[in-house]
Amino acid sequence: MALANHLKTKLTSLLARSLVARPARLAGHKPVASITFDDFPKNAWTLGGPVLAHHGVRGTYYTAGGFCGRTVDGAAFYDEGDLTSLAAAGHEIGCHGFAHQPTPSLTDDELAADATRNRQFLQPFLNGGAPVSYAFPFGRVSPRTKRFYASRFKSARGSHCGINIGRVDLAQLNVVSLETRCWNEKAIEADIQRVLHSHGWLILYTHDISDTPSRYGSTPAMLDWALGRVAAARIEVLPVHEALAVALGL
């Protein structure tokens, strides 16, 4: 049964990738990069924020409202004060669903309710506005849920490894992971060089930032190294919604 479920998940994921829900061609005027944090653990702001400030860049924090003020499995998540601070510093607050559930497991009605709940939660931190950038919890997408989000956000980010060049799907943008579980400096540097030369869009992502990170997080030194390599390539780093405009040549 576990194998059947695993195969079903794999197939759904493959089908979703083959469905281009928001086709776009990047303008290719210049390369651009974004640094993004998912969920997000409190230290992505308290320890990650200073690293971003050191490099003079702003990031995107994909926020799941259900994690606010909570500690889950020993991991402390952001609170409302963190959202206020990072918004004031010019970082972007993106949407990561409220209950942080894999989207294929929810009906359309449940997806709509979850999206509304997260929008209402985030509104006070967005001057009454709505988030425009979305990231799929766990990167889990089905063709149905991809279509659902394609029409509701300017961009949706998955967790499929890769850079964004030429023809892309704005409903499932690729990422380059900075997580300890797949940390590879050579591969990251190669991706930076490809983005530089092809004028693509590099979207970096991680979760917690700590000297003892989880498998899904990074140390401050790893984050600093990656942003240093992007800076050395003279690629501008912008929050996702601003980088989107640059990438599309708007």
- The number of beta carbons lying within 10 Å of the beta carbon of residue 159 is 18
| Position 239 contacts Zn ion (CB under 5 A) | no
| Position 179 contacts Zn ion (CB under 5 A) | no
Shortest separation between residue 122's beta carbon and Zn ion, angstroms: 15
One residue of 21, 39, 172, 244 binding Zn ion per CB under 5 A = 39
Shortest separation between residue 20's beta carbon and Zn ion, angstroms: 23
What does the alpha-carbon distance between residue 93 and residue 36 come to, in Å, rounded to a whole number?
10
Shortest separation between residue 111's beta carbon and Zn ion, angstroms: 16
Decide whether 39 or 191 has the Cβ nearer to Zn ion. Answer: 39
What does the alpha-carbon distance between residue 17 and residue 24 come to, in Å, rounded to a whole number?
15
One residue of 94, 97, 131, 137 binding Zn ion per CB under 5 A = 137
Decide whether 38 or 191 has the Cβ nearer to Zn ion. Answer: 38
Shortest separation between residue 130's beta carbon and Zn ion, angstroms: 19
Decide whether 95 or 223 has the Cβ nearer to Zn ion. Answer: 95
Stretch that binds Zn ion, among 34-42, 71-79, 101-109, 193-201 (CB under 5 A): 34-42
One residue of 24, 38, 40, 94 binding Zn ion per CB under 5 A = 38
Interface positions with Zn ion (CB under 5 A):
38-39, 137
